[in-house]
Amino acid sequence: MIPGLVRHSDPAAFLAAAAPLLARDEAAAAAFASWVTALRAHPVPGERAYLATFAQPGATGAAIQRRDGPVVIESSDPEAAVAFARDLAEEWPRLQGVVGAPAAVAAFVETWRECTGRGHALRFRMRHHRLTDVAVVDVPPGAARVAEPRDAVWLVGAQLSFLAEVRVPDDPERIRGLVPHRIARGEYWVWDRGGPVALAGWSTAAPDSARIAPVYTDPAQRRLGYASALVAALAQTLLDGGRRRLFLVTDLANSTSNAIYARIGFRPLSDIHHVDFTGAGPAPARPLR
């Protein structure tokens, strides 16, 4: 047992216990709320999920990890990151990676190396952004609309292409099963010009917040303003519907997308790193609960 660390089986209890961290970091609050909402809305029987919080005098943190993805620790304090690393190393030393604030990630990867012998490599430097007012952008030919069931095949292909482009592995069958549900909830928008040419998804983050992701344009249709106009239209609709703040994450290496979101009105909040672990690592001692 690691002092101060608590694992949670109830997503609502996890969010409640993570309140000290979420109160000081609105981007983390939006991210965790969005992921927990998805976890509760689409539970997978037998799925391995890790929800943990850490609280000690002067240090707090929260961590979430699903399936074979990285553990997300956001702006957890370094002491919390160390605790999460030690806890996961015992049972899941083949962890894919870690995502969070630079200081938290640095503490996690050093502890991970000590516990598992594995190295690490930086995958992305990313940045959280927030929007409260949409700026005026040029409107290209076509129009934004909520995705419909007839768009499902295109959306699956676009989602898989997006994941391949950003080098994030996922199960294609999971994506094929998820897309119809997101369409039914109105969580996909497309820019239509004789058919979909760009995609923007969104998810609820709290009663008054939302996160926008993914955003993808068919490669043959890029640099024509479709994604900018689509995200602006979606953002304005969400704000008009009662959302007060919208969040998204960008890859700092992609200057084009960062410039696009800045023109729409998104403003930077905080930076996060995505680190991959290298080497196979030892076999897990026992499966995570």
Q: Are residues 103 and 145 in the same domain?
A: no
Q: Are residues 39 and 114 in the same domain?
A: yes
Q: Exposure of 181 by Cβ count < 10 A (0-12 exposed, 13-18 middle, 19+ buried)?
A: exposed
Q: Are residues 99 and 161 in the same domain?
A: no
- Asked, for residue 102, whether it belongs to a domain, the answer is yes
Cis peptide upstream of residue 140 (ω within 30 degrees of 0): no
Q: Are residues 140 and 260 in the same domain?
A: yes
Q: Are residues 122 and 145 in the same domain?
A: no
- Asked, for residue 283, whether it belongs to a domain, the answer is no
In total, how many domains does the chain have? 2
- Could you tell me where the DSSP H helices lie in 71-138? 78-91, 102-116
Q: Are residues 122 and 9 in the same domain?
A: yes
Strand bridging mode 245-251 / 209-217: parallel
- Asked, for residue 22, whether it belongs to a domain, the answer is yes
Q: Are residues 90 and 163 in the same domain?
A: no
> Do 270 and 25 meet the contact criterion of CB atoms below 8 Å apart?
yes
Strand bridging mode 97-100 / 71-74: parallel
Specify the amino acid at residue 169. P
Range of the domain at 122: 5-126+272-278
Q: Are residues 198 and 110 in the same domain?
A: no
Nearest to 288 by CA among 18, 84, 120: 84
- Asked, for residue 284, whether it belongs to a domain, the answer is no
pLDDT digit string (tens) for the chain, length 289 residues: 899 999 999 998 999 999 999 999 999 999 999 888 877 777 667 777 899 999 999 999 999 998 888 999 999 999 999 999 999 998 999 999 999 999 999 999 999 999 999 999 999 999 999 999 999 999 999 999 999 999 999 999 999 999 888 877 778 888 898 899 999 999 999 999 999 999 999 999 878 999 999 999 999 999 999 999 999 999 999 999 999 999 999 999 999 889 999 999 999 999 999 999 998 766 655 444 4
- Asked, for residue 288, whether it belongs to a domain, the answer is no
DSSP string, 211-251: EEEEEEE-GGGTTSSHHHHHHHHHHHHHHHTT--EEEEEEE
CATH of the domain at 209: 3.40.630.30
Q: Are residues 11 and 87 in the same domain?
A: yes
Q: Are residues 79 and 189 in the same domain?
A: no
Strand partners, 99: 72, 274
Q: Are residues 115 and 40 in the same domain?
A: yes
- Asked, for residue 289, whether it belongs to a domain, the answer is no
- Asked, for residue 216, whether it belongs to a domain, the answer is yes
Specify the amino acid at residue 67. R
Strand bridging mode 49-56 / 5-7: antiparallel
Q: Are residues 116 and 192 in the same domain?
A: no
- Asked, for residue 286, whether it belongs to a domain, the answer is no
